Structure formats: structure tokens, C-alpha cells
Chains A and B, each alone.
Chain A
Amino acid sequence: MALSHEREQELEKLCNRFRIDVLTAIHAAQSGHPGGSLSVCEILTLLYQQRMNVDGKNPADPDRDRLVLSKGHAAPMLYRNLIEKGFLPADSMNTLRQTDSLLQGHPTNHTPGVDMPAGPLGLGLAAAQGMAIGLRLSGSPARVYAVLGDGEQDEGSVWEAADSAPKFALDNLCAVTDYNKVQLDGTTDEIMPLRDLPAKWAAFGWHVIRCGGHDLQALDAAFDEAERTKGVPTMIIADTVKGKGVSFMEGKAAWHGKAIDDDSFALAMKELGGDR
């Protein structure tokens, strides 16, 4: 079922709020990854706040849906979503990357609501595959999501999992590529061309959907289609913009993992309305 106009507007507002809070936390820590946190905003927000069966009050529910943030450097956007779902206290956002914080620089499952450690790139899809196999063995209706970066698809291990998940016919597994076309050192075309990414996943036996990664209706429809798809896992290739929402960060590799200076922060807040 399509998102109601009202719900879409609510989610858009949440996304804007999350962008503000994530940049605030990264600015406070003077460390972190703004670009990829902003590009994955709608993907994570739609999943956590609209689609996934997860509840901060029942974090150990064996039938909860799972999500592996394989591009672990986007952790702040994951944490902000977990706060909204009640897994983490609201004030924890300000402790990002600080000693003894629940919010480590990259996700770990010691943090309530985080299903799998991440950080070394290329490993998350296989872990999600293991969850999907295990949940199916247990007869659980839960779905498993893996959120990948595009740069991380330089890693060979991604393609090992690309090979194996269709073999196991994991239709309870849905992967999403945050396809922002920029990695740390430059664009993906400059650093390591991904070539025809949708064709590659299709060749490995996945059901492939391509859609706009900041378009909540399009993403929602893609997740619906993934749920309807039987016998094979789905890869949603979501076209996104690195640094989305802050004009001077958009499409810029420089903002992959850069601390935000005070002037840039003030400007970003002005654009997002976070200064009000």
C-alpha cells in the first residue's frame, strides 16, 4: 500500500530533523562521516520508522526484523533512527564517538538495536544472509535488510555474498545500495568504476529494482515489490546524493569523513532550518 500523503510529509519532516541532529552530533564530536549519513537518510528512516517490525521496548523479540548497516560509517543516521524507536536515550546522540559512549564511531551490537557490528567494509551482506538463513530455519516471518554503500562494492567479499544469497533462495533478504557515486578519495568512476551495477546484481541472480533514494514513495514501492518477490533476494539500487540536503556537501568526496567546522555547520543548519 502506498504511503499516504500525510505520512509521507511526516517522514519528510523526520528526515529533516534527523539530518539536523546527525550533523549536530558529528559537529560536536569534530569527527564522523557526514556525506554518507545524509545520503542514506531516507533509506534508513523509511525502514525504521515505517516498515520494519522493531520495538525499542522489546529489543530481543526473536521475530523482529533485522538490519545490517554494512556501510558502518553512516552509524550516526542509524543511531538517530534507533533513538526515535526508543532503543536509545534521546540525549545519547550528543555522546557520539566519545569515550564509553553507547554510540561508537562504527556500529556494534553492544548498542541496543544494532544487530551486527560493522566498520570493515564488504562484510555486512553476508552477515544479513546468515540472519536470513537462520530466521528461515526457525520459521520466523522476520525480514532482513542489508544497507550497502557503493564504494564498499569494491570489496570482493560483497560478490561472494552476491553469489551465495540467490543459491539459498533468500527471499526474506532485501539489500539496498546507497548509490551516491562518491567514495572517500573521489567519485566511484575515478576510484574504481562499478560499471553497470544493476546488471551486475541481476547477473548474480538477484531481483533488481532501481529507484530514487530520496523519494520516499519510490523507496516504499520498491520495498513492497521486494516483499512480493519470491525465490530470490532483492537488491534495491537507490540513486542518492552524497551529502544530500546541504548544498555545499552534495556530491563532494571531501565531505565523506570530514569534521564539520563551525562556519560550515552554521551554514548547514541555516539550510536545514536547524538554526530555528
Chain B
Amino acid sequence: MAKAIREVYGTVLAELGETNRDIVVLDADLSGSTKTKIFGQAHPERFFNMGIAESDMVSTAAGLAAVGKIPFVNTFTVFLTTLGLIAARGQVCYGNLNVKFGGAYCGMSDALDGASHHALEDISAMRALPNMRVLVPSDAESTRWATKWAVENYGPVYLRLSRDVYPDLYPAGTKFEIGKGAVVRDGGDVTVIACGLMVHKAMEAADMIAQKGVSVRVVDMYSIKPIDRELILKCAGETGAIVTAEEHNIYGGLGSAVSEVLAYAGAGAPTEFVGVRDTFTGSGKYAELLAKYGLDANGVAAGIEKVLARKR
């Protein structure tokens, strides 16, 4: 099975709203796209369409949180984490207020709209904010968990969501944990640490590489902040080489977060970074864009080959 992440998010939010009356949802005139419309139809009295005013939306959510509500703010990832950033920093995170950020169209998932609508710097921006937690679901089940976790745990949370359909990775009832990653494929020669869509691309790449006799471990780092230091160091120690894979600029995102852990520990495993290489992207079909910018299975496989050459 495969499900659109935004659809899963909108549905689970509406379900959670049945039992938790403190949940309120705000959108900036994109609820049909972000799928918070599902919540809005189920709980119209707790749904607020703020118009195309992201700063107003996030500040309003800060106020709602300050009087005990659990607001979710929603729009396309790029707008939420740029136009909404001053309020995210100055009010929500500084005040440690209980606001949840749903960034609906991460990476290049809004492919055809082009660079203006792609979000490739959001992990960097959000993980630099004190008090903010950053979660990147990789399938329907992890999206359900992340959304529920955000409701049940106090403080700012950023959910990096996608417009895209992701194949299922986890069976129902899987136990996830904040600050942990999951080994979704075991292997001994190299570890690919990925998030979101790139977990799936890493799995494909691992299959391709396996034909050459290379055993690839794949980690789904669904919790980027806090991050699973223990698992990163274990993988570096056991496989001796790391590839990070993210639908994000290579600067400031998952690759940087993993490197910080490795550098601090002096682990010294050679590392390759699969991501958008500090460039603005373009319009196109999603699959074509992923290939163009090296974010398909071939791109991950190339990263694996490179790091293996350095390991030898």
C-alpha cells in the first residue's frame, strides 16, 4: 500500500480532534492542498483560515497556545518556514509555546510549481531554533505517529510533510520514539542515513548495489532533532562509511546533523552527502526532478559507490 502523506496527516489530525478538544488548526488559504480541510469539515469551530498571511497565522497560534490550546499551523513548507519563521523564533520557540508546524509540501514534492514552491532549507532553519523538535515521517504509519506524538507532547514540533505518495514502510502498531532512528534494512558495508522520501530511494539503491555484493544498511532518521547519536555512532563503527540522503540542501539539514555527531565523537567515518547541491531547483515532473538533482535511487547509489571508494 502507498498513501499520500498530506492525506494521512489531515485524516489523523481530524481523528485526534475528536477526542482532544484542545486541538485547533490554522491554515493560510491552502487547506485544500495541505488537507487540513478534513479537520475543518469535521471540527469547523476549531478551524481557522487565516488567509494568505503566514506570519499572522503563526503568531495567532502562539497566542492560542499561550491560553492552553494545541494549535497546528499549516501551509506549504517553504512559506511556513520562511514567512512564519520570525514568529516561530520570537514567540513560539522563545516562549516554548505548544505550537505544531505542519510543513505540507517538503522538498520538491510540489514539483511542477518550481523552485519558488520547493522547500530545501527548512530543516536547517527549524532545527536551529531552541525548543523546536524536527520530525520527518517516511510513510503513513510514521506520519500517524509523528502527528499523535506532537499532540501528546508539550512544546514546539515541526512535522516535515509531503505532497507525495510514499510506499508503506512500517506495519501498523510499530513503536517509534522521539530521538531515535530505525534500521529499516540491515547491512555491513555502508550505512545510508536518510529521511522522508529518501528512505525509499535508499532502499532501492541498496537493492541495486546488493547485486554487486555490497551490503547496505539503511536508517530512517525520522527524528532529526533530537537525533539518535547512539545509532549514528554505532553505524559508523560497524559499517565504517556513511551516506546521508535528504530532499534538502546539503547544507544545514540531515547531513549536517549527522556530521555534527560524527565530528564531535571523532568517529571519522568517510561521509557522502546526497541532497540538492546548494542550487535553486526547477519545474518538472517529480521523478524527473529527483533524477536531475541526484535524489533518485541512482543518486543514492552513486553516493554509496563514492563513499566505498574512500573507505577502501
Contact = CB atoms under 8 A, between A and B. Distances in A.
Contacts of B59: 123-127, 129-130, 157, 161
Interface in B71-103: 71, 86-87, 89-91, 94-95, 97
A163 B69 contact: no
Contacts of B148: none
A168 interface: yes
Interface in B36-63: 45-46, 48, 50-51, 53, 55-56, 59-63
* Residue of B53, B55, B63, B64 with most chain A CB atoms under a 10 A cut-off: B63
A127 B91 contact: yes
Contacts of A129: 56, 59-60, 63
7 nearest CB pairs, A to B: A130-B63, A126-B59, A160-B56, A134-B67, A130-B60, A160-B53, A127-B63
Nearest to B90: A120
Nearest to B52: A160
B46 A108 contact: no
B188 interface: no
Contacts of B45: 137
A131 interface: yes
A115 B71 CA distance: 17
A126 B56 contact: yes
B56 A161 contact: yes
B32 interface: no
Nearest to B26: A130
Interface in A74-132: 108-109, 115-120, 122-132
Contacts of A164: 50-51, 53, 56, 60
14 contacts: A109-B97, A115-B66, A117-B90, A126-B62, A126-B87, A128-B63, A130-B64, A130-B65, A133-B24, A133-B63, A134-B64, A134-B66, A160-B50, A163-B56
A129 to B, nearest CB: 5
Given A66-B67, A130-B71, 9 more contacts: A68-B63, A109-B95, A116-B63, A122-B55, A123-B55, A127-B63, A130-B65, A157-B55, A168-B48
A233 B97 CA distance: 25
A208 interface: no
A123 B60 contact: no
Contacts of A161: 56, 59-60
Interface of B: 24, 45-46, 48, 50-51, 53, 55-56, 59-69, 71, 86-87, 89-91, 94-95, 97
Contacts of B66: 66, 109, 115-116, 127, 130-131, 134
Nearest to A161: B56
Interface of B is mostly: helix
B55 A160 contact: yes
Contacts of A68: 63
B154 to A, nearest CB: 14
Contacts of B97: 109
Interface in A147-168: 156-157, 160-161, 163-164, 168
A138 interface: yes
Contact of A138 (B53, B67, B91, B95): B67
B53 A163 contact: yes
A90 B60 CA distance: 33
Contacts of B24: 133-134, 137
Contacts of B51: 160, 163-164
Contact of B86 (A123, A124, A160): A123
Contact of B63 (A132, A157, A160): A132
Given A117-B95, A123-B87, A123-B91, A131 B67 contact: yes
Nearest to A128: B63
Nearest to B92: A117
A153 to B, nearest CB: 14
Contacts of B91: 116-117, 123, 127
B95 to A, nearest CB: 5
A117 B94 contact: yes
A132 B62 CA distance: 12
Given A117-B95, A138-B68, A130 B53 contact: no
A62 B68 contact: yes
Contacts of B90: 117-120, 123
Contacts of A62: 67-68
Interface string A162-197: 011000100000000000000000000000000000
A109 B71 CA distance: 18
Nearest to B89: A120
Contacts of B48: 133, 168
Nearest to A123: B59
Nearest to B93: A117
B63 A137 contact: no
A118 B91 CA distance: 7
Contacts of A109: 66, 95, 97
A73 to B, nearest CB: 13
A232 interface: no
A255 to B, nearest CB: 25
